[in-house]
Structure 1
């Protein structure tokens, strides 16, 4: 019986039920398919790396622009009233990344074409009116007005998103016959702007 079993095993090994040639063909087809997929993945990965490098260059290549300024004084005082509408000069620079804001003239000059955001806040004595405007070039863009209410202090603020060409200017004006409070340490009245994104 043992001899017969061994002979039967030998027969099974010598005459396998699988077609080795067919199996090899299938394996070769699988390898070719996987190789093609690998080439596709490598190509996509190269494209993704290129896109990431482009985005990194765009981020690092774009200018950083942001400023906040207030008006300086050694004592609590005010600007105004003036007989004509007057440009306000926020000469106490708190932040000026990119140096686009000129503290001597009160003018922001866009270094690149882009979309910018500007905001201001103003504080005034209770008995005085306060009118403020942001100008884009020579045109009034947004404004706020605070009527003398008789309260201790009054405040007003506003903001705007602007599309600017490189070199366009933005500044603030104080309206005719109005006041704005200037304190010596708290920076109640401020002018702020920054680049959202270049275009």
Structure 2
């Protein structure tokens, strides 16, 4: 009996020791919670910064949209009118070209009677022209900004039957400034009755 009792007491002691080991925490819960709190605070700060940046971007987009909505719509393309195919030119002085055949004139800033575009607002504009002519004579074209020549194209009489030139420019214009085309002295440009080979184009990119 004594032996049995000793064995039972020994087993009870061992079991109690195992229970104590099982219940002993293997991690520091408070330390883990503190680290988790720090992580959450960092994520919250990042989220708030992202929200702030998104709000700034949204405000910028809305501002641009308001500017676009408030900006005038300006765009034109014009050619020259003729009942038959012919050349215009061989003048003894440089001459303004009047592109009187309006193909597009949104905003009515281009005057087909004078060949002059007048900027309705201060802004950045783009202009382009094309010219076609038989190659038995020279062809010289220029865009003028006010009284100043801005960009030009020139094709000498090469004898290749047909010549084509083109050029374009971006201009900063004040409201009321004028832009137009001129034909060089002793040169010509072809005016057709149907295909609009020679054209003058311009449009507003954005206001400033």
TM-score range, shorter chain: 0.7 to 0.9
The residue that corresponds to 1:3 in the other structure is: none
Using the size of structure 1 for normalisation, the TM-score is 0.77
C-alpha displacement of 1:53: 3.0
CA 1:177–1:43 in structure 2 vs 1: closer, same or farther (change >3 Å)? closer
Q: Which runs of 5+ in 2 are unaligned?
A: 1-41
Q: Paired residue for 2:171, among 158, 162, 166?
A: 162
Which is higher, the Rg of structure 1 or of structure 2? 2
CA 1:99–1:34 in structure 2 vs 1: closer, same or farther (change >3 Å)? same
The residue that corresponds to 1:73 in the other structure is: 82
Q: How does 1:29-48 map to 2 (within 5 A)?
A: none
The reply on whether 1:98 has 2:107 as its aligned counterpart is yes
CA 1:55–1:159 in structure 2 vs 1: closer, same or farther (change >3 Å)? closer
C-alpha displacement of 1:162: 1.0
The residue that corresponds to 2:119 in the other structure is: 110
Q: How does 1:1-199 map to 2 (within 5 A)?
A: 49-199=58-208
Using the size of structure 2 for normalisation, the TM-score is 0.74
1: CA distance, partners of 2:167 / 2:52: 51
C-alpha displacement of 1:165: 0.8
Q: Which runs of 5+ in 1 are unaligned?
A: 1-32
C-alpha displacement of 1:50: 4.0
The secondary structure found in structure 2 opposite 1:121 is strand
1: CA distance, partners of 2:154 / 2:44: 71
C-alpha displacement of 1:134: 0.5
Per-residue CA deviation, residues 92-150 of structure 1 (Å, 9 max, x unaligned), is: 11111111111010001111111111111111112111111110001111111111111
Please report the RMSD computed on the Cα atoms of aligned residues, expressed in angstroms: 3.2
